[in-house]
């Protein structure tokens, strides 16, 4: 999944549409939702592994090796850690959105020039 | 050992290991690649300026600089890295000043007739943007020289439009020259900003300006 780049915001400026801010907001909403879906999946997977591990540990007559406990517990930890990193990224989305809005405003005066460049580039290809 | 273990735990352990390793390794590799690409983009932006692309008066060079150098920086880094932010906004402001004809005059020595000839060549090649950008530069060269000859105090960042107004106000430019030059500057400014200017109008602007400047 490619991170949002300055070029994506410049594309919005080049589009010269009056609803560029709304489009930018949509872009961030999609990105946020996508990240949160991944976070939920990772936490759910980590939780499921832990639940299964505890169920196996406390089941009567069950024999489970230490390496298996470590493997399942470790994997659950890795999944949760990746989820936590993504969650932290999602929490910074607001700050990135504000910065992207400022960038969009700074790039607006160049909108027609960028549109002309993109049209010429498309024509050349 | 394994034989005494219930199969469900074995399967669970293997699945968990595979999931953990895949997600962990995948995330680390993706994050490392992304960080490397971002660092490269930031380094490229900080080690270059739009000056070269602006001086070349070439739309492709200018657009390539904006998209390939500035455009590759992730928004997350733009938001969190003050240096990257400064580089991007500084470059965009400099390009805007050029569009508004408020950047510093040409850094390299330029000849009026050479620039007009280059504008004509660019138009003949179908590059209206470059033709009119060069025409604007040619007019600026001439007007700056007239201002110098007339001891007019004009700012370094005064573009062709501002120079023209200053010369007209001080009566250092004949009226029959100011009208055509004003028209040519307006057409050139529209084109440089990205507006589509028909080839015929660009040709007309170059013709009228050449006559007013006394260039054959």
pLDDT in tens, B158-201: 888 989 999 998 888 888 889 999 999 999 999 999 999 999 99
Contact assignment for A117 to B73 by CB distance below 8 Å: no
The ipTM, to two decimals, is: 0.82
Tokens standing for residue A107: 């790039």
Farthest-apart Cα atoms in chain B, separation: 105
Q: Which residue of A has its CA nearest to B5?
A: A63
pLDDT tens readout for residues B47-88: 999 998 898 899 999 999 999 999 999 999 999 999 999 999
- To test the contact with chain A by mutation, choose from B20, B33, B60, B96 the residue with the greatest count of A C-beta atoms within 10 A, namely B20
- To test the contact with chain B by mutation, choose from A49, A70, A75 the residue with the greatest count of B C-beta atoms within 10 A, namely A75
Q: Does A90 score more than 80 pLDDT? A: yes
> For residue B158, what pLDDT is reported?
83
| CA-CA-CA-CA torsion sign (A93, A98, A103, A105) | positive
Q: Does A11 score more than 90 pLDDT? A: yes
Contact assignment for A117 to B62 by CB distance below 8 Å: yes
Q: Average pLDDT in the B2-26 region?
A: 72
Distance from CA of B94 to the nearest CA of A (A): 11
> For residue A68, what pLDDT is reported?
82
Give the position of tokens 């003050």: B82
B96 vs A42, A72, A109: nearest CB: A109
Q: Does B9 score more than 80 pLDDT? A: no
Helix axes B175-192, B160-169, angle to 10 degrees: 160
């Amino acid at each position: 999944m490619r991170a949002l780049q300055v070029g994506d915001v410049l594309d919005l400026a080049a589009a010269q549409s009056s609803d560029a801010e709304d489009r930018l907001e949509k872009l961030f909403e999609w990105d946020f939702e996508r990240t949160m879906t991944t976070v939920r999946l990772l936490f759910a997977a980590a939780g499921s592994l832990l639940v299964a591990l505890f169920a196996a540990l406390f089941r009567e007559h069950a024999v489970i090796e230490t390496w298996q406990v470590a493997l399942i517990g470790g994997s659950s930890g890795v999944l949760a850690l990746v989820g936590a990193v993504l969650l932290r990224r999602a929490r910074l989305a607001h700050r990135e959105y504000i910065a992207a809005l400022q960038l969009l405003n700074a790039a607006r005066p160049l909108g027609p020039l960028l549109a002309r460049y993109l049209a010429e580039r498309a024509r050349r290809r | 050992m394994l034989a005494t273990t219930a199969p469900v735990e074995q399967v669970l352990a293997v699945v968990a290991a595979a999931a953990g390793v895949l997600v962990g390794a995948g995330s680390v590799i993706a994050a490392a690649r992304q960080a490397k690409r971002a660092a490269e983009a930031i380094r490229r932006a900080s080690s270059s300026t739009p000056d070269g692309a602006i001086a070349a008066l070439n739309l492709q060079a200018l657009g390539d600089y904006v998209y390939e150098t500035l455009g590759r920086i992730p928004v997350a880094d733009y938001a969190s890295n003050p240096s990257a932010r400064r580089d991007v906004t500084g470059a965009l402001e400099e390009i805007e000043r050029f569009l508004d004809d408020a950047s510093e005059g040409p850094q390299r020595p330029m000849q009026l007739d050479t620039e007009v000839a280059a504008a004509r060549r660019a138009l003949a090649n179908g590059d209206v943007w470059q033709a009119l950008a060069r025409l604007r530069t040619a007019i600026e060269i001439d007007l700056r020289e007239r201002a110098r000859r007339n001891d007019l105090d004009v700012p370094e960042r005064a573009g062709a439009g501002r120079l023209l107004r200053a010369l007209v106000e001080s009566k250092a430019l004949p009226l029959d020259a100011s009208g055509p030059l004003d028209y040519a500057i307006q057409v050139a400014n529209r084109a440089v900003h990205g507006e589509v200017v028909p080839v015929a109008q660009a040709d007309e602007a170059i013709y009228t300006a050449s006559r007013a400047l006394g260039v054959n």
